[in-house]
Amino acid sequence: MYPEISEKRMKADFMELTTGSSESLDERRVADLLTEKLQSIGFSVTEDDAGEMLGGNAGNLYGFLKGSIPGKPLLLSAHMDTVKPGQNKKPILHEDGTITSDGTTVLGADDAAGLVEILEGIRSVREADIPHRDIEVLFPVAEEIYIQGSGVFDFSRIHAEEAYVLDMSGDVGSAAVRAPSLISFRVTVTGRASHAGFAPENGIHAIAVAAAAIAKIHQGHVEEETTCNIGTITGGTEKNIVPEQCICTGEVRSFLHERALYWIREIRRCFAEAAGNAGAELTMETEEILRAYRVPEDAPAVSRFRRACEELGLAGTLRPTFGGSDNHNFLKAGISGIVLSCGMQRVHSTEEHITVRELLNGAALVARLIQD
């Protein structure tokens, strides 16, 4: 059944959620609004202590709504925080149905679009008295700062085995089933300082060592599934001193976790060789930020998504994403999740925008998913 989706209410919700401030760790206002909206639909809502743990002012919101279709609940998720500049946002609804910021901040459709599509999709089904499955929602904080909010959530509370994370750019009707590993690194080269004029031969030039290493390191698309990047380099203290220290940071991403590890080893090898040649010391710290996943195309979440798209006349395409999302933490917790496009465009920029039509499509998709 196709419930009536209220365009008016959806626009109002979207404008309300994208007004004001909601940068990572400052989600209080959005969390309060969402708690109220979820409760008015009939959800029981709890907020965890992620705010205290991460130094923010709000926790992850978890909600449960009983349905009448038997079976495991479905988990629907969208994050509450936005990237910078995201303070004092003022959304503008244009005559043609496009919504933008006033040009000084991001719009925050990432991820308010996901939030309102979930809310309105569920609300429309409830109002029309259409049977639906048990529904769990998780609205995490601090997604934009390396998915930290969902990273501290207690997943033993989740009963769902499949999840839909509404947090991808592009028209509604496509989903990501594959995402990369991301390993960041920080290399410190320590040489020896010496006066650059009186006794340069007594020094070991840390910047020159780093430069020699970087010249040998492959960057960009080093193979089909993998990218490498040296992102920052800092070193030296004075124009007349042979630099003692040089610090380089960067990242490796790959759809294949093993290949990410291989390229990290390659980068370490290049630095170690250059340091060895010059007699410099080397330390390298690495951190696994994301672990690659691939959801099989016959997984229930994928089949359900495709059925819903077919019924609604949406494309139903599957594609990889090369970015992180809360879905990484869902997969880690054993929940088979996919990431859905929710209509937002040019995210993480002040040109971010979305159309009312896409918001309506997103709500219709949620409404189909929970009836299936």
162 part of the interface to Zn ion, by CB under 5 A: no
| Token pair of 51 as six digits | 């705010």
Residues 185, 289: Cα–Cα separation, whole Å: 10
CB of 113 to Zn ion, least distance (A): 9
In angstroms, the Cα distances linking 171 to 61, 104, 134, 203, 345 are 26, 24, 27, 57, 8
CB of 114 to Zn ion, least distance (A): 8
Shorter beta-carbon distance to Zn ion: residue 117 or 167: 167
CB of 94 to Zn ion, least distance (A): 23
Applying CB under 5 A, among 47, 167, 352, 358 the residue interacting with Zn ion is 167
27 part of the interface to Zn ion, by CB under 5 A: no
- With contacts defined by CB under 5 A, name the span among 62-70, 98-106, 160-168, 264-272 that binds Zn ion: 160-168
In angstroms, the Cα distances linking 77 to 95, 121, 236, 293, 315 are 30, 13, 46, 18, 21
State the catalytic residue, choosing from 143, 225, 251, 352: 143
CB of 143 to Zn ion, least distance (A): 6
Residues 209, 189: Cα–Cα separation, whole Å: 7
Listed in sequence order, the residues at least 6 apart from 34 whose beta carbon sits closer than 8 Å to its beta carbon are 17, 61, 80, 115, 119, 139
State the catalytic residue, choosing from 26, 81, 144, 225: 81
358 part of the interface to Zn ion, by CB under 5 A: no
Residues 297, 181: Cα–Cα separation, whole Å: 20
CB of 80 to Zn ion, least distance (A): 10
Query: Is 143 assigned a catalytic role?
Result: yes
What's the 3-state SS for 335-365?
A: CEEEEEECCCECCCCCCCEEEHHHHHHHHHH
Shorter beta-carbon distance to Zn ion: residue 212 or 342: 342
What residues between 246 and 285 interact with Zn ion by CB under 5 A?
none
What residues between 205 and 244 interact with Zn ion by CB under 5 A?
none
Shorter beta-carbon distance to Zn ion: residue 111 or 225: 111
What residues between 96 and 125 interact with Zn ion by CB under 5 A?
110-111
Shorter beta-carbon distance to Zn ion: residue 51 or 324: 324
Query: Is 372 assigned a catalytic role?
Result: no
Positions that interact with Zn ion (CB under 5 A)? 110-111, 167
Active site residues: 81, 143
